[in-house]
Copies of this chain bind each other. A is one copy, B any other.
Amino acid sequence: MKHDRFKPAAGTLRTRVFQVIFESDTPLAKGFDIVLIGIILTSVLVVMLESVPALRDAYGPWFRRLEWGFTLLFTAELLVRLYCLERPWQYLRSFYGIIDVVAILPTWLALVLPGAQSLVVVRLLRTLRVFRVLRLMEFVGEGRLLIDALKRSGRQIFLFLFTVCMLITIFASLVYLIEPAEAGFTSIPASIYWAAVTLTTVGYGDIAPVTPLGQSISVMVMLIGYSIIAVPTGVFSAEVIRSIRADRYSEEACPGCGHDHHEKRARYCLRCGTWLDETTPDPRTLDEKTPRE
């Protein structure tokens, strides 16, 4: 469990609360998780709907009441969390602790912050409440295989993104030279925006080349973007396959010859025949001993 370092000593009320809130082994803890997920999703939905002008005008007071309801709930939950933890301050500085605070902070700030009545700040604080959605990450689980594959392909995907950025810069500059400003290529940054839109095959069409030469170059950018998507996909596929395979192999060295690439279920070293499973005796030795006794 990822919160084990905060776990209080066994047997107390705090331990039992801890188990309900931070673990998910018991029916009660599972129920708590499901209710919490439901409340988080509902509260994010309310934030979204409140941002629609028509709905805000019609149901403004209701949204505010609901919002205070969610904030009080999350605040109470955070207090209980801190109560049952061994090192509450350390939790508050952890990733999940910060998100717990971010989930309630905007509403409280709107109350106490001087000048929080200005439109910009109100809008900012309201929107920040959406980040509550990150609380759901706690329930996503580990996905070890995916994370393993991402970590190992990370360097090559960084190289790929770096190359993509360089291609975008170069082609953006070329098209900036060729296309007139009226077509939207007013500056290199604007052209970079166009090149990114084109190379990633998004293709808004708000800026598009109008000269034959510019269109030829943009066809080239499209074909490059269309083909090089194969690179991260290929790298990541290879890493996922490797992760699946690595799952089948142990890296523990054989005590006989040091070979360290055995299938996990192997019992004898494939290289020198040494018995690998140190917790049980080698049946070959048993066979030899049994008849003698």
Contacts and interface: CB of A to CB of B under 8 A. Distances in A.
B234 A188 contact: no
Contacts of A143: 156, 159
Nearest to A228: B232
A189 B265 CA distance: 51
A161 B239 CA distance: 20
Contact of A192 (B48, B166, B271): B48
A103 interface: no
A52 B189 contact: yes
Contacts of A149: 234
Interface string A166-196: 1001100100110000000011111011001
A266 to B, nearest CB: 9
Given A189-B48, A206-B205, A230-B232, A156 B145 contact: yes
A215 interface: yes
A48 to B, nearest CB: 4
Contacts of A94: none
A107 interface: no
Interface in A127-141: 127-128, 130-131, 133-134, 136-137, 140-141
A55 B162 CA distance: 27
A157 interface: yes
Interface in A76-110: none
From A127, A149, A197, A199, residue with most partner B Cβ within 10 Å? A197
Contact of A160 (B176, B227, B271): B227
Contacts of A261: 265
A62 to B, nearest CB: 17
Given A136-B166, A189-B52, A196 B223 contact: yes
